[in-house]
Each structure stands twice: as structure tokens, then as C-alpha cells.
Amino acid sequence: MFLVVTLIKESFLFALSALRDNRTRTLLSLLGVTIGIMTIIGVFSAVDTLRNNLEESVRKMGSRTLYVEKWPWGGGGEYPWWKYVNRPEPKYTDFESVRNRMITAEEVAYSINISNSTAKYGNNSASNINVTAVTHEMYSIRNLEVVDGRYFTEQESRAGSHSVILGATIAEGLFPNTTPIGKYITLLGRKMQVIGVLKREGSGVLINVSNDEVAYIPFTLARNLVNYEHYGPSIAIEVKRQYSLDESESELIGIMRSARRLPPQREDNFSVNQTTLITAQLDQMFGIINLAGFFIGIFSILVGGFGIANIMFVSVKERTNLIGIQKALGAKQFFILSQFLIESILLCLIGGGIGLLIVYGLAALVGVLAGVTIVVSVKMVILTTVLSTLIGLIAGIVPAIQAAKLDPVEAIRSK
């Protein structure tokens, strides 16, 4: 055992010496592996970052929340939009029926979304904002975090008070150097008092449910200003913990059908949506993306592996005379074999380490410049280490065997 350890140690030192003596060749060898490893880690890190961002956006919508809407969530190939276009929007009377009759609901809220609105304060204005008009219960369902000021009182919600709660971006745009609380802004053609500012959430990717560019007003106020049925009304139901989503959905469908007096033979003229519909589509999408990323990474690594193998054949050719001398002095085949295998593995591990450092550097740079947290998982670091070792073994095995089997006399004469 001691002899084997000693041989491996000596082989390791020989391999390091060979790498130092041929710096240019070593650098070129590292380049291919570094690019390959950097590609595979970069692809999977980008996919993981996108997945985390999307899942966080979905979580903001509520994992135990059902939504009654005109349109079902989804789309794609077989989306029969013609079946849904003539459906009625969820009315306020539907909301009242659900709120009063639903046993499995913790909270029930009603909301509409008035997009592309403009808010003004003095000479400052914020355009292309969303005005979301909500009933009082939305505060609990969406877990709205008011960091400055307060939320509507129940009396303000019922009476339709001219009050507004601003998203962080809107508040900064309208009030760059002063507190917005208590100030009056112009919104939807009315003067409204700012009573609260929401916590900054940051933008989402693809699914943007951030409140940063949203202004919340009481629904009772909005219904006096616009025809609310034209602004995508939605009923949100937070399900009690002791009930499953399926149980609650079944009860909800029964209440909605009763409220709309639908006979048994008619299909539903509304949709009950939940975030599991989105997560199922995300799982399917990321399955395809991960497969594509895997093949891209594998091909990149193979290119690096072929480069290492080519360099190792050149190395065997250059050191044939030295190998002959070592064998003439009594070096065993294992010693020669381990020299070249260790050299090959070291090249791949160093290249993989450099590729990993570049990815971490780029991730930190993107985080500073764009404010996006790039996910580089520990699983990917382990996978990179294993891949680098395997590539080193595969790329170096044939040249190493060739070197180990050289005839010492012929090898010495080759110089």
C-alpha cells in the first residue's frame, strides 16, 4: 500500500513538472476545458436562475389561492379561445355569493386592473402604471407589505375613500425628495390621498406580479369611476389550511354554477385557476430546456476532451526518450501510466476550476450591475468536479496506455 502511495506521489510530481515545463501547451489545453465547463455551468445556472425567479413570481400569487376568472390560465397549441371569448366576466354579485356561502374559504376578495394609467403630483408624473382596485380582503390574500403608512381601513374600503397605496417605484418617481404619506396625487381624474407605500419587490421574469408599479385603491371607489366589468375582474379565494385545493375548488364550482343558474347539462361559463396550472407548465418547459442545456454542455466538454487527448498524444511523443530511460531504470508500467493519467486529470480539474471561477465572477458582476441574483448550485459544482475527472480519465487513458507499453530500448533510441 505504501509503495502504491509513493508511486502515485512521484507520478503527481512528474505530472506537475511536465505542466510547468510546457506552459504554452498547458494554457492551450486548459482553454478548451475551461470553455466547456463554463458553458455547461453557465447554461444550467441561467436555467436555475430563471426557474427560481418564475417560481418566486408564482409564490407571490399564492400557493393556496384559487382565482375565478373569465379566461383559463394556459395557452399554446390547443387553446380553444373561441369557447371563452363570449363568457361573462365575474360580477360583483358572484363575489358576494362566494364570500357569503363558501365554507372552505379563509378570505375572498374581488379586484380589477386598470392598466396604462398615469399618476401626477406637481410637476412629477408616473405613467404606464397599473391601478388595482380591490376589496378589503386582498390585503391578507396577497400578503401586501406596507412599509410606510398603512392599509385601507374597512370603513375606507366600504365607503370608497379617495385613498391610494403606492408601489415603491411609483412613490420614488412622484416623491423623490419627500415623504408621500398624506400628500394628494391625481389618479383616474380624481384627487387621492396617499396613505401607504408598499415594500419594494423587484421585477419578475416573464411573469411579472411585482407591486412596484401598482397603485391600490378601494374597489368601491373604482366602480364609481369606470365600468368595472371591462377591466378583467377576478375573484381570489384563499383556502383554509384544513381543506385541500381540490375540495375547495369543487365547492367553489358548485357555488358559481348556482349563482349563475347553470343547468346540469351546460358546461361552466367561468374558469377556476390556481398556481399549480402554471407550475405544471413550468416543469414541462424546464424539462425541455434542461435537456437542451445538457446536450449543449456535453458537446462543449467533448470538444475540450478531444483537445486534451490530442495534447496528451503529443506529450507522449515528446517524452518517449524520457519514458525509455525511466523504464530502463526499473520504472513499472503503473508508474508511467499514472504519470499521464494524473497529468490529464489535473489539466481538466484546473480547467474546470477556472471555468467555475469565471462563472462565479460573471454572476457577481451581473448581480452588481443588473441586481439579478444568479444561482450557481452546489450540485453543479460537484457535477463539474466529477465531469472534469471523468474527462481527464477518458482523454488520457489511451495515450497513457501507449506510453506504458513502450519498449525501453526503442524508446531510448527515439531521440
Half-sphere exposure of residue 332: CA atoms within 13 angstroms, side-chain side: 10
Compute the mean pLDDT over every residue in the chain, rounded to the nearest whole number: 80
Inside any domain, residue 75: no
Asked if residue 62 is part of any domain, the answer here is no
With a cut of 70, say whether residue 268 has pLDDT above it.
yes
Q: Which of 248, 281, 285, 259 is nearest to 72 (CA)?
A: 281
Burial class (CB within 10 angstroms; exposed 0-12, middle 13-18, buried 19+) of 334: middle
Select the highest-mean-pLDDT range: 78-87, 230-239, 367-376. Answer: 230-239
Beta strand ranges found along 42-169 (DSSP E) = 65-69, 105-121, 124-134, 146-149, 163-166
Are 120 and 257 members of one domain? yes
- Same domain, yes or no: 114 and 247: yes
Instruction: Return d(Cα 157, Cα 163) in angstroms, integer.
Output: 9
Is 265 within the bounds of a domain? yes
Task: Flag whether 74 is in a domain.
Answer: no
Query: Do 93 and 153 fall within a single domain?
Result: yes
Q: Residue 305: what pLDDT?
A: 74
Closest listed residue to residue 340, CA positions, set 317, 302, 312: 312
**Residue 70 belongs to some domain of the structure:** no
- Shared domain for 257 and 207, answered yes or no, is yes
Q: Is the Cβ–Cβ distance between 225 and 190 less than 8 Å?
A: yes
Provide the residue type at 92 as one letter. Answer: Y
Read off the pLDDT of residues 122-173 as tens digits, 9 standing for 90 and up: 889 999 999 999 999 999 888 888 999 999 999 999 999 999 999 999 999 9
Q: Are residues 292 and 396 in the same domain?
A: yes
Of 269, 301, 316, the domain-final residue: 269
Q: Quick check: is 218 in a domain? A: yes
Per-residue pLDDT at 409? 65
For residue 407, the number of C-alpha atoms closer than 13 Å in the C-beta half-sphere is 4
List, for residues 10-49, the tens digit of each pLDDT value.
656 666 666 666 667 677 767 777 777 777 777 777 777 7
Answer whether residue 264 shows pLDDT above 60.
Answer: yes
In this structure, is the dihedral angle defined by the CA atoms of residues 185, 186, 187 and 190, taken in order, positive or negative? positive
Q: Which of 269, 295, 313 is the last residue of a domain?
A: 269
Task: Band the pLDDT of 313: cuts 50, 70, 90.
Answer: confident
- How would residue 204 be classed by pLDDT, with cut points 50, 70 and 90? low
In a domain, 65, yes or no: no
Residues 218 and 246 in one domain: yes
Short-list 228, 112, 138, 217, CA closest to 170: 217
Q: What's the pTM value of the predicted model, to 2 decimals?
A: 0.64
2 — pLDDT class (breaks 50, 70, 90): low
Residue of higher predicted confidence among 320 and 238: 238
**Residue 133 is part of which domain span?**
88-269
pLDDT at 77: 56
69: CB partners within 8 A, 6+ apart: 90, 232, 233, 234, 235, 270, 271, 273
pLDDT for res 250: 93
Same domain, 106 and 226: yes
How sure is the predictor about 206, in pLDDT bands with cuts at 50, 70 and 90? very low
- How is 260-274 classified by DSSP, letter by letter? TT--TTSPPSSEEEE
Of 241, 269, 297, the domain-final residue: 269
Q: Is 70 exceeded by the pLDDT of residue 309?
A: yes
How far is it, in rounded angstroms, from Cα 263 to Cα 241? 31
Q: Is 163 helix (H, G, I), strand (E, B) or coil?
A: strand
Residue 231 has pLDDT above 70, yes or no: yes
Q: Are residues 264 and 287 in the same domain?
A: no
Report the number of distinct structural domains present in the chain: 2
In this structure, are 383 and 333 located in the same domain?
yes
Same domain, yes or no: 288 and 403: yes
Clarify whether residues 197 and 166 are in a common domain: yes
Indicate whether 72 belongs to any domain: no
Cβ–Cβ < 8 Å for 249, 66: yes
- For every residue of 111-142, DSSP letters joined together read EEEEEEEEEEETTEEEEEEEEEEE-TTHHHHT
Q: Are residues 258 and 295 in the same domain?
A: no
**pLDDT greater than 50 at residue 92:** yes
Instruction: Give dist(CA 95, CA 84) in Å, integer.
Output: 20
Q: Say what angle helices 23-61 and 275-318 make with each other, to 10 degrees.
A: 170
Cell of 137: 380582503
